[in-house]
Amino acid sequence: MAQSDSPEWARLNRAHWDEKVPVHVASEFYDLAPLRAGEGRLYPIEEAELPRIASAGWHGLRVLHLQCHFGADSLVLAQRGATVVGLDFSMPAVRQARALATELGLDDRSRFICADLYDARHALPEPESFDVVYTTWGTIGWLPDIVEWARIIAWFLKPGGRLYFADGHPAAFVFDDPRADEPGADEPAALLDGGPARFPAPRFGYFEREPLALDEPGDYADPDAELAHSRTVEWMHPLGETLTALVDAGLGIDFVSEHDAVPWQMFSVLEPRGDGLWGWPGTSWLPLGMSLGATRRAD
Ligand SMILES: C[S@@+](CC[C@H](N)C(=O)[O-])C[C@H]1O[C@@H](n2cnc3c(N)ncnc32)[C@H](O)[C@@H]1O
């Protein structure tokens, strides 16, 4: 799809992500030192669960990484022996991914394609050619159509091929930090186990179908960043709809996990756990993240 033909949501979101790429590459959040040392790591949630997806290791597996950003996770899997195709609609992200692959000597095991997810079948006309589709942390909220997302995944997977998906939990996406102008915003929250931080406030309906028009100049990887392209369009996807879309597209669900931690400071009350994840200061009131494994059925 030519950029001028793109819907407004895609243009806004792409400009936002294009601007984020250099911020992220320069950030401590995306620490590329282990990758550069040949020992790239994923977050503990994926590290714990991926043996269920690639039980015999990554050598020889063909992996499609959807919404790969600037390729850091794609190249971790390539370092482990997979052949990875990363797809993202941000050209700066794809350029950065290609440069990183060259720097790491992984050009022969990685390819990065610039395309909107919904154009993936045209950008990469290789049906049933992947052993694994991998997509994690900050993905489907940028996509309007979860049914088509699931069909695209199914189209690329070989029969018996696996999906690994991890993201924020849709129940947590109902909430946001309390706004400064809300009544009582400067008072400690009674609900929290000590400390002055306030519990996040409900902001978005779990079953909301309309796009959410947001305007947030900050960035999860760099709290000091002030993005010029701060307007974005995002979507809520209830968990049941995501699971059903995958089943209807031809995948069998192998496992679904809920997590009380995520790899970014989703709410200001969250605290770093010391392993790259952020969790609740006391009681785990709500799941913050979720992940699943699924297998493409042969039928
Ligand atoms: C939060 S990042 C992905 C997270 C990845 N785990 C990371 O942190 O490196 C989201 C990515 O989705 C991409 N993206 C958003 N909407 C897209 C779309 N419609 N098609 C393809 N890529 C999209 C953005 O360019 C961005 O690189």
CA nearest to 108, candidates 85, 87, 131: 85
Under CATH, which number does the domain 3-177+191-296 receive? 3.40.50.150
- CA 14 to ligand 1 center in whole angstroms: 9
pTM confidence score: 0.95
Strand-pair category, 261-262 with 278-279? antiparallel
Total Cβ atoms within 10 A of residue 280: 19
Residue 46 CA, chain-centre distance (Å), reads 12
Sole residue written with tokens 């978005």: 204
Strand-pair category, 201-202 with 175-176? antiparallel
Q: What pLDDT is attached to residue 188?
A: 45
Q: CB of 24 within 8 A of CB of 72?
A: no
Q: What pLDDT is attached to residue 4?
A: 57
CA nearest to 21, candidates 231, 277, 225: 225
Q: What is the pLDDT of residues 28-72, one digit of tens each?
A: 999 999 999 999 999 999 999 999 999 999 999 999 999 999 999
Atom in ligand 1 nearest the alpha carbon of residue 10: 19
Q: For 141, phi and psi rounded to 5 degrees?
A: -65, -20
CA nearest to 247, candidates 287, 292, 289: 292
**What residues does each domain of the chain span?**
3-177+191-296
Q: Which residue puts its alpha carbon closest to atom 7 of ligand 1?
A: 69
Atom in ligand 1 nearest the alpha carbon of residue 14: 25
Q: Is there an atom of ligand 1 within 6 Å of 93 CB?
A: yes
Strand-pair category, 261-262 with 62-66? unpaired
Per the document, the length of the chain is 299
Q: How far apart are CA 26 and CA 227, in angstroms?
A: 15
Tens of pLDDT, residue by residue, the chain (299 residues): 455 578 999 999 999 999 999 999 999 999 999 999 999 999 999 999 999 999 999 999 999 999 999 999 999 999 999 999 999 999 999 999 999 999 999 999 999 999 999 999 999 989 999 999 999 999 999 999 999 999 999 999 999 999 999 999 999 999 999 877 665 455 544 455 555 567 899 999 999 999 999 998 999 998 889 999 999 999 999 999 999 999 999 999 999 999 999 999 999 999 999 999 999 998 998 999 999 999 999 97
- CA 141 to ligand 1 center in whole angstroms: 10
Q: How far apart are CA 46 and CA 53, in angstroms?
A: 10
